[in-house]
């Protein structure tokens, strides 16, 4: 049995590297630039204390703390370690993330193995537990919906928080001593410090303990978890001073509660449909359902209803003959519900859906399917079907990794799938601008500004286009619009440089003294501009 387990672990490792090897050559894209390349805070490990006193994004020299709405210091710390060791080489960032994803697949295999082994007990040698464990972990490893979580460096948070959470849960599944809960609580703290979604693991582990273990274990876990959550709350709210504000930039975050709830059926439909048929995968999805109608609400709601009825019927079939299997099925179902529920916009997020957000829910859904198929998985016909599914998904995943080759390829591909995405339009415009295709870039910046006139990055980029075209008056106006919308540091830098270029020295000096330097005291470009003006005769 040990050799068989070792074989499947080896298979997971080999298949994972073979499937994603091409992505190791990808460049940094999207938020990678602001969180890694332009983020001077992570370029030196000497600044590591600041990772725990701020958020994740480059602040443009506004202060010593990183900016943003989220608290993910372990992700930032990981970036700093990689940067210290390898510099701005994306290969090693991608490799690190891939290794964690493969490790997570191994953890899923072990967790499924021990859960099904405990369930089957004396029947384990007849039915076998390797089948459900191997099939579930391989599908998790190769599923196309998880490609974004594996190849997008700024999504390190998703694989990282899952790693610590799965490791904590594996200790619970294997252990029988109450003292282990302190180790579990520490790992859950690391999960929380990697991403806020780590809180889901508290619910998952507590549910497992309540269903399968003794009451005193649940009390011990609650006490240990209280310490973990308390320390996290102290660090986030007391040290970093990061509250629970919403982003208020994406359409879903600007929508009211009623609109967000009307969008929930469409969100569930997106994830479930692409779990079974992973086509039309794309980033930056910002759809909302502004009114209740057939296509936007009733059709996806009907699909969701059928899906949950099927899940309920699966429980009925299992529980009728085997109550232990029924308990395991309920556990995996609650895992799926907890992990998906946190992404259903009850609290608004920065996108409507994101493929990487299904990283943790998928494990629960695969577990439900495994509980249903456990008695049939060793049949030759079922094995052949599973091999075909893994092979087809692997091909689809490899094809999706090619989209992530670089920014121009990714945004150009996804823009043809996703319409009316303000940040996708802007990001594609940036890549076109860098490629020297200025007319095309301008049209995408304009589209972004129409979709999100309240943003700042798109107006700054429109200013850059106008400046290149020699229309300095419009460039000034666009830069000022970007500054008014969000005090964007690049717009501040660009406006100061433009005023100097136009020889509006008095205006430039006043702007630097009154706006730029007070808001960005540590910005080297702004400081150099001011010194230049000071030295002018």
pLDDT tens, 86-126? 999 999 999 999 999 999 999 999 999 999 887 766 454 43
Q: Within a domain: residue 117?
A: no
> What's this model's pTM, rounded to 2 decimal places?
0.92
- Compute the distance between CA of residue 478 and CA of residue 263 in angstroms, rounded to an integer: 34
317, pLDDT greater than 70: yes
When mean pLDDT is compared across 29-43, 64-78, 149-163, 197-211, the lowest value belongs to 64-78
Alpha-carbon distance values, 88 to 39, 91, 96, 411, 490 (Å): 11, 9, 14, 22, 21
Separation between Cα atoms, residue 28 and residue 9, nearest integer Å: 30
Q: With bands split at pLDDT 50, 70 and 90, how would you rate the model's confidence at 129? A: low
Residue 1 scores a pLDDT above 50:
no
**Mean pLDDT to the nearest integer, 32-47:** 86
Q: What is the mean pLDDT of residues 519-534?
A: 86
- Per-residue pLDDT, 179: 66
Residue 72 forms part of a structural domain: no
Q: Would you state the pLDDT for residue 2?
A: 42
Q: How far apart are CA 313 and CA 305, in angstroms?
A: 12
Q: How far apart are CA 494 and CA 515, in angstroms?
A: 13
Structural domain includes residue 441: yes
pLDDT at position 98 is 98
Give how far the C-alpha of residue 157 lies from the chain's centroid of Cα atoms, to the nearest Å.
6
- Distance separating alpha carbons of residues 196 and 222, to the nearest angstrom: 18
What pLDDT, on a 0 to 100 scale, did the predictor assign at position 16? 96
Q: How far apart are CA 29 and CA 43, in angstroms?
A: 18
List CB contacts of 364: < 8 A, sequence separation 6 or more. 332, 333, 334, 335, 336, 337, 338, 339, 340
CA gyration radius, the chain: 25
Which of the residue ranges 235-239, 425-429, 456-460 would you say has the lowest mean pLDDT? 235-239
Q: Give the pLDDT confidence score for residue 220 in this predicted structure.
A: 77
Residue 224 contacts by C-beta under 8 Å, 6 or more apart in sequence? Answer: 181, 182, 184, 185
Distances from the Cα of 275 to the Cαs of 40, 163, 191, 225, in angstroms?
Answer: 38, 21, 25, 32
**pLDDT for position 40:** 84
Is residue 143, in this structure, part of any structural domain at all?
Answer: no
Say how far apart CA 139 and CA 390 lie, in whole Å: 6
> What mean pLDDT value characterizes the chain?
89
| 36 domain residue, yes or no | no
pLDDT tens per residue, range 352-392: 999 999 999 999 999 999 888 877 777 778 788 889 999 99
* Residues making up the chain, counted from first to last: 537
Q: Give the distance from CA 344 to its chain's centroid.
A: 14
Average pLDDT over residues 245-262: 89
In three state form, how does the secondary structure of 340-374 look? HHCCCCCCCCCCCECHHHHHHHHHHHHHHHHHHHC
d(CA 273, CA 473): 49
Q: What is the mean pLDDT of residues 134-147?
A: 95
What's 239-273 look like in SS3?
HCCCCCCCCCCCHHHHCCHHHHHHHHHHHHHHHHH
* Count of the separate structural domains present in the chain: 1
Place of tokens 């190849």: 151
**Where are the extended beta strands (E) located within 273-343?**
none
Residue 431, domain member (yes or no): yes
The rounded distance, in Å, linking the Cα atoms of 490 and 468 is 16
Cα 216 to the center of its chain, rounded Å: 35
Contact 236, 74 (CB under 8 A): no
205 falls within a domain: no
Q: Which helix (H) or strand (E) holds 283?
A: none
Higher pLDDT, 130 or 89: 89
Report pLDDT for 127: 44
Question: Of the ranges 39-43, 187-191, 261-265, which one carries the lowest mean pLDDT score?
Answer: 39-43
- CATH code at position 448: 1.25.40.10
24 within a domain of the structure (yes/no): no
Asked if 356 contacts 152 with a C-beta cutoff of 8 angstroms, the reply is yes
* Cα dist from 36 to 63, 221, 461, whole Å: 17, 36, 21
Q: Which residue has the higher pLDDT, 537 or 407?
A: 407
| Statement: residue 80 has pLDDT above 50 | yes
Q: Which of 412 and 177 is assigned the larger pLDDT?
A: 412
**Distances in Å between the alpha carbon of 190 and those of 73, 74, 140?**
10, 7, 23
- Residues 51/67, Cβ–Cβ less than 8 Å: no
How many angstroms separate the most distant Cα atoms in the chain? Answer: 91
Report the percentage of the chain scoring pLDDT > 90: 63
- Residue 225 near residue 199 (C-beta atoms within 8 A): no
DSSP count for the chain of H helices, then E strands: 26, 0
- The single-letter DSSP state of residue 296 is I
Helix H or strand E encompassing 32: helix 32-32
3-state SS assignment for residue 523: coil
Neighbouring residues of 483: CB distance < 8 A, sequence distance ≥ 6: 456, 491, 492, 495, 515
State the pLDDT confidence band at 27, using cuts at 50, 70 and 90.
very high
Q: What are 164-203's pLDDT values in tens digits?
A: 999 999 998 887 666 677 888 899 999 999 999 999 999 9
Output the pLDDT for position 121: 62
Structure tokens at 239: 């040290």
How is the chain split among helix, strand and coil, in percent rounded to 5?
75, 0, 25
C-alpha dihedral, 351 to 353 to 355 to 357, nearest 10°: 80
Alpha-carbon gap, residue 402 to 69, rounded angstroms? 31
Q: Decide which of 128 and 404 is more confident.
A: 404
Residue carrying structure tokens 């992990």:
339
Lowest mean pLDDT among 51-65, 92-106, 276-290: 51-65
Residue 237 to residues 9, 246, 319, Cα–Cα distance (Å):
41, 15, 44
What's the pLDDT at 126?
39
- What is the mean predicted confidence (pLDDT) over 280-285? 94
Mean pLDDT score, 464-469: 94
Structural domain for 470, as ranges: 419-535
Tokens of 63: 């202060």
The strand pairing partners of 285, in sequence order, are 353
* Residue whose C-alpha is closest to residue 252's, from 340, 352, 354: 352
């Amino acid at each position: 049995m040990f050799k068989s387990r070792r074989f499947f672990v080896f298979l997971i490792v080999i298949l994972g590297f073979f499937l994603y090897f091409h992505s190791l050559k990808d460049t940094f894209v999207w938020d990678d630039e602001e969180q890694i390349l332009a983020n001077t805070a992570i370029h030196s490990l000497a600044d590591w204390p600041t990772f725990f006193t701020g958020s994740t994004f480059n602040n443009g020299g506004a202060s010593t703390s990183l900016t943003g709405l989220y608290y993910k210091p372990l992700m930032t710390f990981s970036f700093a370690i990689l940067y210290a060791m390898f510099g701005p080489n994306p290969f090693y960032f991608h490799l690190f993330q891939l290794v964690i994803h493969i490790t997570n697949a191994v953890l899923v295999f072990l967790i499924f193995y021990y859960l099904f082994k405990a369930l089957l007990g004396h029947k384990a040698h007849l039915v076998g537990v390797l089948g459900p464990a191997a099939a579930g972990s391989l599908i998790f490893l190769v599923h196309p919906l998880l490609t974004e979580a594996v190849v997008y460096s700024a999504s390190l948070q998703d694989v990282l928080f899952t790693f610590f959470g799965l490791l904590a849960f594996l200790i619970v599944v294997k252990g029988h001593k109450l003292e282990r809960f302190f180790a579990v609580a520490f790992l859950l703290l690391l999960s929380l410090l990697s991403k806020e979604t780590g809180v889901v693991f508290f619910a998952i582990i507590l549910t497992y303990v309540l269903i399968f273990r003794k009451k005193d274990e649940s009390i011990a876990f609650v006490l240990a978890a209280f310490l973990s959550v308390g320390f996290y709350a102290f660090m986030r709210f007391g040290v970093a001073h990061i509250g629970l504000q919403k982003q208020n930039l994406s359409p879903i975050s600007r929508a009211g509660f009623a609109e967000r709830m009307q969008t929930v059926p469409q969100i569930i439909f997106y994830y479930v449909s692409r779990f079974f048929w992973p086509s039309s995968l794309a980033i930056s999805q910002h759809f909302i359902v502004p009114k209740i109608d057939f296509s936007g609400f009733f059709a996806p709601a009907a699909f969701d209803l059928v899906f949950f009825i099927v899940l309920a019927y699966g429980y009925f079939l299992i529980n009728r003959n085997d109550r232990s299997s029924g308990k395991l099925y309920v556990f995996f179902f609650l895992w799926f519900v907890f992990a998906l529920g946190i992404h259903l916009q009850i609290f608004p997020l920065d996108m409507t859906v994101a493929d990487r957000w299904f990283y943790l829910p998928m494990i629960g859904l695969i577990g439900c399917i495994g509980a249903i198929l456990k008695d049939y998985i060793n049949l030759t016909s079922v094995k052949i079907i599973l091999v075909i599914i893994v092979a087809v998904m692997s091909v689809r995943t490899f094809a999706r990794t090619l989209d992530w080759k670089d920014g121009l390829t990714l945004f150009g591909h996804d823009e043809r799938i996703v319409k009316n995405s303000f940040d996708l339009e802007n990001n594609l415009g940036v890549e076109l601008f860098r490629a020297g295709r200025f007319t095309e870039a301008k049209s995408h910046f304009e589209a972004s500004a129409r979709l999100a006139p309240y943003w700042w990055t798109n107006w700054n980029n429109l200013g850059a286009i106008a400046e290149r075209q020699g229309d300095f008056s419009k460039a000034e106006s666009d830069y000022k619009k970007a500054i008014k919308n969000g005090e964007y540091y690049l717009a501040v830098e660009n406006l100061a440089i433009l005023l100097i270029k136009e020889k509006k020295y008095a205006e430039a000096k006043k702007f630097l003294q009154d706006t730029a330097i007070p808001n960005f005291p540590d910005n080297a470009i702004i400081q150099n501009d001011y010194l230049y003006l000071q030295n002018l005769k």
